[in-house]
């Protein structure tokens, strides 16, 4: 089994203390920062833009995994690359030219990810699989933290893992991940687990290390 990495989603951070939250997650053992960008159009919520991403870039050396829930997406890829993204993920549903969007990410020298919503079949990404570094299976309808895991995502993770085969592609899951379902999620093939509310609930930095460890333990045992 591949090594499991935990990606706390800063969407659930206390934005009035964002820098401290990032520092706390870094110290608590988060492996990757998952950064949710929402436009109020592709998804029914608005989060923040590249300026905020840039403002936290120098607080941690850990990778920034930027999840773009915006349409159109191509005009904004360069801005998030410059803001400090290590990987940029676009939705298969965000436009008619997914292949071009992936090429635009690679042209910026960043790791390219493709995400699929709960209603989108894994077959939607079959023909771009050789161009990506990451597949993101959404396990909630994107837009908000704190929603419940949609069980059909487990079958989609198994299908995505089969599609990936021997390729060095991360399989990420996002939405409703907690210590109770992390084991079956990892067993279904995911190796990068996004966790928003299950890490940040209460926004008490003193709890973050235990919560990240609980997810890691559940996923690896
Ligand atoms: C949802 C976002 C998620 C969200 C996950 O649209 O893409 O990354 O922050 O939050 P939880 O873990 O609370 O479901
Ligand atoms: Zn996300």
How many domains in the chain?
A: 1
26: Cβ contacts below 8 Å, ≥ 6 apart: 59, 60, 62
Q: Is the dihedral of CA 53, 56, 58, 63 positive or negative?
A: negative
Mean pLDDT per 10-residue segment, the chain (221 residues): 90 98 98 99 98 98 99 98 99 98 98 99 98 99 98 98 98 98 98 98 98 98 91
Residue 2: what pLDDT? 67
Residues with CB under 6 A from ligand 1: 9, 11-12, 34, 36, 67, 140, 142-147, 174-177, 194-198
CATH number for the domain spanning 195: value is 3.20.20.70
- Which spans in the chain are helix H? 18-28, 50-57, 77-83, 98-107, 152-164, 182-187, 197-200, 208-220
Q: Which residue's CA lies nearest to atom 1 of ligand 1?
A: 142
pTM above 0.90, yes or no: yes
Which of 12, 13, 174, 199 is the best mutation target for the ligand 1 pocket, counting ligand atoms within 8 Å of the beta carbon and taking the most? Answer: 174
Tokens of 148: 């419940």
Q: Whose CA is nearest to atom 6 of ligand 1?
A: 142
Work out the end-to-end distance of the chain between its first and last CA atoms, rounded to an integer number of angstroms: 11
**Full DSSP string of 56-99:** HHTT--SPEEEEEE-SS-GGGHHHHHHHT-SEEEEETTS-S-HH
Q: According to the model, what pLDDT value does residue 37 have?
A: 99
Q: Which domain covers residue 195, as residue numbers?
A: 5-220
Neighbour-count burial of 179, counting CB atoms closer than 10 A to its CB (0-12 exposed, 13-18 middle, 19+ buried): middle
CB-CB neighbours of 3 under 10 Å: 9
Residue 174 bears catalytic tag: yes
Predicted ipTM of the assembly: 0.99
């Amino acid at each position: 089994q591949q090594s499991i990495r935990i990606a706390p989603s800063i969407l659930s951070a206390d934005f009035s203390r964002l820098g401290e939250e990032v520092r706390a997650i870094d110290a608590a053992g988060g492996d990757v920062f998952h950064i949710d960008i929402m436009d109020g159009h592709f998804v029914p919520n608005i989060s923040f833009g590249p300026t905020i991403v840039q403002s936290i870039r120098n607080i941690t050396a850990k990778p920034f995994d930027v999840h773009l829930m915006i349409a159109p997406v191509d005009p904004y890829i360069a801005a998030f690359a410059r803001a400090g993204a290590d990987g940029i993920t676009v939705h298969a549903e965000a436009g008619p030219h997914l292949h071009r969007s992936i090429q635009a990410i690679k042209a910026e020298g960043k790791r390219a990810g493709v995400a699929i919503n709960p209603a989108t079949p894994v077959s939607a990404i079959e023909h771009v699989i050789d161009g990506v570094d990451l597949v993101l299976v959404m396990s909630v309808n994107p837009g908000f933290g704190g929603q419940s895991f949609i069980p059909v995502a487990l079958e989609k993770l198994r299908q995505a893992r089969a599609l990936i085969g021997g390729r060095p592609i991360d399989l990420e899951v996002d939405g409703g991940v907690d210590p109770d379902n992390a084991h079956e999620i990892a067993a279904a093939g995911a190796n990068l687990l996004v966790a928003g509310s299950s890490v940040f609930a209460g926004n008490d930095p003193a709890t973050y290390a235990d919560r990240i460890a609980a997810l890691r333990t559940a996923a690896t045992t």
